[in-house]
Amino acid sequence: MKALILCMLVSICLPRVVGSASYYRIANGMRTIENRDGKITVTERSDRFKKIYYFIAKHPAEHNPIQTTELIYNSTHPEHFAAIASVESGFDPSAVGPDGEVTIFQILEWNGKNPLNNVEALNAAEQVLAEKKVGRSLSAAIKAYNGRGSKAERYKRLVLKRVEEINKMKI
């Protein structure tokens, strides 16, 4: 039990360091610290970001929750895309669905280069959701993202339940 708690703390608190000769960046779920040519800035994360981060970080398939959270956080519907990826693949970029769906968002007709590239995957998922949303509510578009009928209705309810879980998270 102690080992599990330690592993969770390390994965949540472990910063991601990116750097070069004149730029260093350390990021975790709470803040980002950047050093640009000796000018240091500290940016605190918003509560919304933190909620999405902790939601993503609790999925075992996610190896870089900071990078995935930063990507999804800047999407059109961050909580919804986090919930969709959770339901579709558990944030496993190498997941392949029964009908050949790929990426963490399980795109059926993949036209991208690399399904393991979450940037390409999110762009494709946003496009699919936007196409499904034309003339519909976001809720109806989420249902259509998965198809039609009772299976798609259950899918929509599950995604919206996870969106609610993210929104109600205590930070």
pLDDT at 15: 55
pLDDT at 111: 86
pTM: 0.83
CB distance 87 to 37 below 8 Å: no
**Other C-beta atoms lying within 10 Å of the C-beta of residue 170:** 6
- Tens-place pLDDT, residues 24-38: 888 888 999 999 888
Residues in contact with 155: Cβ distance below 8 Å, sequence separation at least 6, in sequence order: 87, 142, 143, 145, 146, 147
DSSP states along 76-140:
SSHHHHHHHHHHHHTT-TT---TT--BTTTTBSS--SS-TT-HHHHHHHHHHHHHHHHTTS-HHH
Q: Which CATH number fits domain 47-168: 1.10.530.10, 3.90.1150.10, 2.60.40.420, 3.40.50.11540?
A: 1.10.530.10
- Per-domain residue ranges of the chain: 14-44, 47-168
CB distance 108 to 100 below 8 Å: yes
Could you tell me how many residues make up the chain?
171
Q: Which residue has the higher pLDDT, 1 or 75?
A: 75
14 has pLDDT over 60: no
13 has pLDDT over 80: no
Q: What angle do CA 157, 61, 76 make, to 5 degrees?
A: 50
Report the SS3 class of residue 170.
coil
pLDDT at 29: 86
C-alpha to C-alpha distance for 47 and 110, rounded to whole angstroms: 33
- Tens-place pLDDT, residues 127-164: 999 999 999 999 999 999 998 999 999 999 999 999 99
